[in-house]
Amino acid sequence: MYQSIGAQPKSTNWGLVTSVVANVALVGAIGVVALSQSHADPALESAIRTAPVVAPMVHMAPRAFQGKSFRMNNRAVIRPNAEESLGFKGYIPYPDTTGASLTPLPAKQDPSPYSAELRATAKAIVADGKGILACDESTKTIGKRLEQIGVPNEESYRRAWRELLFRTPNMNEAISSAILYEETLFQNAADGTPFVDIMKANNVIPGIKVDTGVRATFMDGETITEGIDGLAERAQKYYKQGARFAKWRGVLRIDPNGAPSMEAIEGNARALAQYGKICQMNGLVPIIEPEVLMDGAHGIEVQRWVTEKVQAATMKALSDVNIEWEGMLLKPNMILPGTDSGKTASPEEVAENTVEGLMRTLPAAVPGITFLSGGQSEEEATRNLNAMNKMSPNAPWKLSFSFGRALQASVLKAWDGKEENVENAQKLFYALSKANGDASLGKFEGEHPATTGSLYEKNYVY
> What's the rounded Cα separation, in Å, for the pair 132 and 221?
30
Please indicate whether residue 277 is annotated as part of the active site.
Answer: no
Catalytic residue among 182, 289, 291, 379: 289
Catalytic residue among 209, 331, 398, 434: 331
Inter-residue contact 211 to 235 (CB < 8 Å): no
> Which helix (H) or strand (E) element contains residue 251?
strand 245-252
From the list 196, 200, 197, the residue with the least C-alpha distance to 172 is 200
From the list 315, 329, 293, the residue with the least C-alpha distance to 130 is 329
From residue 360, give the alpha-carbon distance in Å to each of 303, 316, 404: 15, 13, 27
Please indicate whether residue 289 is annotated as part of the active site.
Answer: yes
> What's the rounded Cα separation, in Å, for the pair 217 and 195?
37
Inter-residue contact 261 to 223 (CB < 8 Å): no
> In this structure, what is the dihedral angle of CA atoms 85, 87, 90, 96, given to the nearest 10 degrees?
10
Inter-residue contact 85 to 79 (CB < 8 Å): yes
From the list 238, 300, 291, 236, the residue with the least C-alpha distance to 268 is 291
> What's the rounded Cα separation, in Å, for the pair 127 and 359?
21
For residue 69, count CB atoms less than 10 angstroms from its CB and return exposed for 0-12, middle for 13-18, buried for 19 or more.
exposed
400: β partners: 370
> Which helix (H) or strand (E) element contains residue 123?
helix 115-125
CA–centroid distance for 349 within its chain: 21
Q: What is the SS3 assignment for 59?
A: strand
Catalytic positions are 289, 331
